[in-house]
Every structure is written in structure tokens, then in C-alpha cells.
């Protein structure tokens, strides 16, 4: 497949903001919803469009969790064949297309990671330079600005170390054990950090 360089990719970080960006994001989202509808109808061309517009984002998600490009390629292939089969279950009233796709990519990556096939692999936890833990403003593009701001604000209300743990968990797909070692706290402490943070986040997001 030729990937047109000028095509608008979703989820580019640090994109422009303002009304125009918001309109563009809306249009991108509608385009993805339409593509998913056509994929549900068995349209391979639509799957190719979807792949063109979302694969770089999903690949980044897989690579980040799996820390192995070969594994990530396998999982990415699995993600899009899953999308091909399950596009009909996507419900635009319940999720944005990119949220749905990211969830599939993360679940597949995490399952691969936990499957034991990769158990011998030692993950280098220090390779965290491709995510900026102190730059909540880089949250961009995949959801409405309102949702981004709310999550950013609510993460900001957590104790900084707790917010960092939430980010490591989500972005890196770390288990409680790995998080505890990474942040050098007892396992029980990490569990209570995460659980309390989730409850606080929800409380804040519902405010």
C-alpha cells in the first residue's frame, strides 16, 4: 500500500488547537466512523483507508507496550484483522473510533505481553524518553478538547507520583509488580496508589 504523505493522520501530538483544529478533528472522526461502517459491510478499500489513517498511531501504542517491533507488527496485523471481523460491533454512540481502535491495540498488546510468550524478555524501563511525563498539554487530537482538558486537570489534582504511575500503567501496560519496582515502592502501596487515583479521577471527571 502506498501511504500518501499528505494524508491527515489522527492522533498527531502537539497539533494545532482552536476552532479550526476542532472542526478538523470532527471531520476526521466522522471519516473514521464512515470507514468503520463500510468495513462492517465488507469493504476492503475502507479497511485500507482506516489502516492508512490510524496504523502509525496504533503501531506506536503496540511498540511502546511490547518494546519489540517484530512483536508489535504481529499484534498490529492481528488488530486490523480483528477490526475487519468486528467492525459491526463498533457503536459510535458509545465510543469514538480512535478510542475503540486504541483499546483493541492495547488489549492485544497487553495480552501478548502477559501470554508468557514474551516472559523471558526483560523490559528496559528506562526507555521512557518517547513520552513526556510533564507535558499534559501534549494530550491532543484523539478526543474532544473538553475530554482532554478534563483528564489533564484531573490528573493534575492527583499527587504527582500517583499521576506518573497512572501514565506508566496506561502507556507502558505495566502490571502492579512492574510499577512497584519501577517506582521503588512496596506492591501494596502501588495498589493503593492506583486504586485511590482511579476513584479520585472518576470523582473529579464527574464533577
Partner 1 sequence: MSDEHATGSADGPPVAGEYVLGVLNAAERRAFEARMAQDPALRSEVEYWERRLGVLASELKPIDPPPRVWANIESALAARPAQSGFWHHLPFWRWAAIGSAAVAAASFVALAYIARVSTANEPLVATLQASGGQSRFVAAIDSGGRGLTIVPASLPDFGQRALELWLIAPGDHPRSLGLIELSRPVHIDLPNDLMPRVRPEATLAVSSEPPGGSPTGLPTGPVIASGKLTNL
Residues 14-33 that bind partner 1 (CB under 8 A): none
The CA distance from 87 to 123, in Å, is 33
Smallest distance from partner 1 to CB 189, Å: 13
| Residue from 57, 67, 108, 162 binding partner 1 (CB under 8 A) | 57
Q: Which is nearer to partner 1, 22 or 175 (CB)?
A: 175
Q: Which is nearer to partner 1, 32 or 72 (CB)?
A: 72
CB 56 within 8 A of CB 9: yes
| Residue from 21, 131, 183, 185 binding partner 1 (CB under 8 A) | 131
The CA distance from 61 to 56, in Å, is 9
The CA distance from 48 to 7, in Å, is 13
Contact call for residue 134 and partner 1 (CB under 8 A)? no
| DSSP one-letter code for 206 | T
Smallest distance from partner 1 to CB 121, Å: 15
CB 80 within 8 A of CB 51: yes
- Output b/e per residue, 72-82; b: 16+ Cβ within 10 A: beebbebbbee
Instruction: Restricting to residues 75-94, name those near partner 1 by CB under 8 A.
Output: 76-77, 80-81, 84, 88-89, 91-94
Q: DSSP H helical segments within 87-139, as ranges?
A: 97-114
Contact call for residue 13 and partner 1 (CB under 8 A)? yes
Contact call for residue 48 and partner 1 (CB under 8 A)? yes
Contact call for residue 142 and partner 1 (CB under 8 A)? yes
The CA distance from 46 to 30, in Å, is 13
Smallest distance from partner 1 to CB 5, Å: 10
Which residues, at least 6 apart from 168, have a Cβ–Cβ distance to it below 8 Å? 128, 174, 179, 182, 183
Contact call for residue 8 and partner 1 (CB under 8 A)? no
The CA distance from 63 to 123, in Å, is 12
Instruction: Restricting to residues 153-192, name those near partner 1 by CB under 8 A.
Output: 166-167, 169-171, 173-176, 179, 191
| Residue from 4, 116, 122, 184 binding partner 1 (CB under 8 A) | 116
Smallest distance from partner 1 to CB 26, Å: 15
Number of residues engaging partner 1 in binding (CB under 8 A)? 81
Amino acid at each position: 500500500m502506498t501511504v500518501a504523505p499528505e494524508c491527515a493522520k489522527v492522533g498527531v501530538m502537539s497539533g494545532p488547537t482552536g476552532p479550526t483544529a476542532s472542526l478538523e478533528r470532527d471531520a476526521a472522526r466522522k471519516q473514521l466512523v464512515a470507514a468503520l461502517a463500510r468495513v462492517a459491510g465488507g469493504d476492503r478499500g475502507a479497511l485500507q483507508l482506516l489502516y492508512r489513517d490510524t496504523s502509525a498511531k496504533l503501531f506506536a501504542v503496540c511498540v511502546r507496550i511490547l518494546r519489540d517491533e517484530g512483536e508489535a507488527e504481529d499484534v498490529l496485523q492481528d488488530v486490523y484483522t480483528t477490526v475487519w471481523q468486528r467492525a459491526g460491533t463498533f457503536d459510535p454512540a458509545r465510543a469514538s473510533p480512535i478510542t475503540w481502535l486504541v483499546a483493541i491495540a492495547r488489549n492485544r498488546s497487553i495480552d501478548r505481553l502477559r501470554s508468557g510468550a514474551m516472559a523471558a524478555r526483560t523490559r528496559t524501563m528506562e526507555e521512557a524518553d518517547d513520552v513526556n511525563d510533564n507535558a499534559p498539554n501534549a494530550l491532543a487530537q484523539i478526543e474532544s478538547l473538553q475530554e482532554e482538558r478534563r483528564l489533564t486537570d484531573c490528573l493534575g489534582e492527583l499527587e504527582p507520583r500517583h499521576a506518573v504511575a497512572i501514565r506508566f500503567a496506561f502507556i507502558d501496560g505495566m502490571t502492579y509488580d512492574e510499577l512497584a519496582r519501577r517506582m521503588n515502592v512496596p506492591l501494596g502501596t502501588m495498589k493503593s496508589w492506583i486504586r485511590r487515583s482511579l476513584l479520585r479521577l472518576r470523582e473529579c471527571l464527574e464533577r
